[in-house]
Structure 1
Amino acid sequence: MKKVIKITSWTLLIIVLSVFGFGIYKYQTDAMIRAMIQEDESKLYYYPSKEMASLESFNYSEYKLQVEDSITIYTYHFKPSIKHRGNVFYIHGAGGNATVSAGLIKPLVDNGFSVYAVDWRGYGKSKGKPNYKGVLKDTEVAFEDFISKTQNDTLKTIVYGMSLGGQLAIKITKDNQDRVDALVLDSSFESAQKIAIDYAPFEFIKNKHRNHPEKFNQDYVGVRDIKHIHNMPKLIIHSRHDQGVPISHGRNLFEKAKEPKVFWETDSPHIMTLRDYPKEAITRITELIQ
């Protein structure tokens, strides 16, 4: 009997040490798990690229904006060659930069929309390192510049947010309801906390995120803030096959949004609506502002 107990004890000890060792190994070698445990938002949510894609097929202007003493950001204003339908303030997602989104912007421009896109700090040519409060400030500064460049025309203003940029789109729209005519969300987060829970690989990390909402971006929370946007057309797009942001995020945003609102469920990959459904997307966006 003693021998059995001894063997069992040693077996359990080996299992515990193996699990503990594996945990340490993953912590040391997996940057994402380390970021989750340390709650390092700069690595959890932002994946900027400094590689610039060609914009030679566009008629566009590039602007350099001062946000803080040490932070300058770049924005791009793409202009259509046909009769203008509206002005789009475009907020890209967590990866790449504004020029990488050129293929998604092109259907809008080709169909008469002028598109103003912002690169947050750390993205493209923009200086600095992205963080929660910083990308909000960058977006606010860029939006004011966008308004200053479009306020003298009679065209409607559309805020278009992609993925992580959707939360910023909701915040900007909520704070500027007298200057925005429609909101479009494509594959958007409902909240940074929910994304952290969805992606946490271990239950103890999920529980940590569930139990501490105060650690997650309380200045703007999409699913909370969208309730305060009144009397504005909203198009919420999400794919049932989205591998980046589960469709539950889009459905929850739609549920909390006030009328008028439309939910468009697609079959495209994450944020690829404008690539895969350009004609229908243009039709639906145009209907928002008519």
Structure 2
Amino acid sequence: MKDGYTILELLWYAQRMLVYPAGFFDVAPLSYSPRYYHLPYSDIKLRTKDRVELECYLIKDEEEEKVKRSRGTFVMFHGNAMTRSSLLEYASLAYHCGFNALTVEYRGYQRNKGYPSEKGLQRDAQAALDYVLSDPILSTKPLIVFGQSLGGAVAIDLTSRNSSKVSALIVENTFTSIPDLVWGRFPLLIKWISVFCTQHWHSRRKIKTLPSSLPILMLSGLLDSVVPAAHMSKLWDVSQTRHYSGGFWRWVQHRISPATKSQEKQAPIMDEFCVFEYGEHVEMPLLDGYDESFEEFLDKIFPKSNTVPVTESLS
């Protein structure tokens, strides 16, 4: 019996190590700080519900008046083998579009205490959102949740639990669920593995529960060898069922008979699905057209006419 418990414990820890490797093994220290991108920032510590402290970057101007003129705030989540410095390319893009950004480091990553798990990362994400909502200025601005790879699953989960507080959702190269990802790589083992699976991240289930009025931007690289692009396509299809009163089957009917679409749509659809032919799992912001897709979505949802972009101070 003791050996049985040992095997179960090994399976329990092993899957966490596979899903969150940088939370269990030493990885390279933060490669860049916001200074490298000439971004104004603060090192902040978040405190989660279970009293874990998280070191994060808050990208925003020091002058209160400039912060008041910002267009909103991003809460950003990175991939499983990354760190908060991996998000700085995205934070820089957001900042130069007139937004603030909070780049979140998970528990167990870098100098943060604790061990990562699905429940733990959910608490980390909630602490980040609550931090922004507790700020007297940032709380008055639109809030955008962004996630890359595993961070996309964290972002979808957080948004599904706080949809009334989130103004837009952006995800890049993320998956439909952990079991689906395993199925694609080890189809013969999935039934056996699923019995012991504790890390699920069921994004496909959660994204269809989001309000149809919530704008979603999906950014997909067709050359992604880590998370096949089919995952993003499936997430997109499921997300679009939100816009039809009959759900999935009504959406299928509209795909077959486009002429009836205008009769069923509940509101103008603000979602965007951007596919990059040469996009790989990481470094998507370096691709031609990426910045434009990002900015055009933000400009559509948060028109500049109502605010003065932060970056006017740089000119």
The correspondence of residues 85-234 of structure 1 with structure 2, limited to 5 A, is 85-149=71-135, 154-200=140-186, 203-209=187-193, 212=194, 215-217=197-199, 220-230=201-211, 231-234=213-216
The residue that corresponds to 1:17 in the other structure is none
Highest relative contact order (Cα 8 Å, sep 6+), 1 or 2?
Answer: 2
Pick closer, same or farther for the CA change 1:67–1:152 going to 2, 3 Å. closer
Structure-2 separation of matches of 1:80 and 1:108: 13
**1:88 deviation in Å?**
0.8
- 1:225-249 per-position Cα deviation (integer Å, ceiling 9, x unaligned): 1111012111111111111211111
* In the alignment, structure 1 residue 275 sits paired with structure 2 residue 248: no
> Which structure's residues are more often strand, by fraction?
1
Contact persistence 2:132–2:138 (CA under 8 A):
no
Structure-2 separation of matches of 1:148 and 1:275: 34
**1:216 deviation in Å?**
4.3
How many residue pairs get matched? 251
Letter in 2 for 1:247: A
Tell me the SS of whatever aligns to 1:62: strand
Contact persistence 2:146–2:171 (CA under 8 A):
yes
* In the alignment, structure 1 residue 73 sits paired with structure 2 residue 51: no
Tell me the SS of whatever aligns to 1:96: coil
Tell me the SS of whatever aligns to 1:161: strand
Pick closer, same or farther for the CA change 1:67–1:163 going to 2, 3 Å. same
The residue that corresponds to 2:34 in the other structure is 55
* In the alignment, structure 1 residue 239 sits paired with structure 2 residue 221: yes
Contact persistence 1:174–1:225 (CA under 8 A):
yes
Contact persistence 1:50–1:97 (CA under 8 A):
no
Contact persistence 1:41–1:132 (CA under 8 A):
no
The residue that corresponds to 2:16 in the other structure is 42
* In the alignment, structure 1 residue 289 sits paired with structure 2 residue 302: yes
**1:124 deviation in Å?**
2.4
Percent identity, aligned pairs only, is: 23
**1:46 deviation in Å?**
1.2
Unaligned runs of 5+ in 2: 1-6, 244-268, 304-315
Structure-2 separation of matches of 1:156 and 1:68: 24
TM-score by length of 1: 0.77
TM-score by length of 2: 0.72
Letter in 2 for 1:241: L
Further displaced range: 39-48 or 89-98: 39-48
- 1:205-242 per-position Cα deviation (integer Å, ceiling 9, x unaligned): 23424xx3772435x41000111101211111111111
Tell me the SS of whatever aligns to 1:135: helix
Pick closer, same or farther for the CA change 1:150–1:109 going to 2, 3 Å. farther
From 263, 268, 275, the counterpart of 2:273: 263
Letter in 1 for 2:73: N
Letter in 2 for 1:269: E
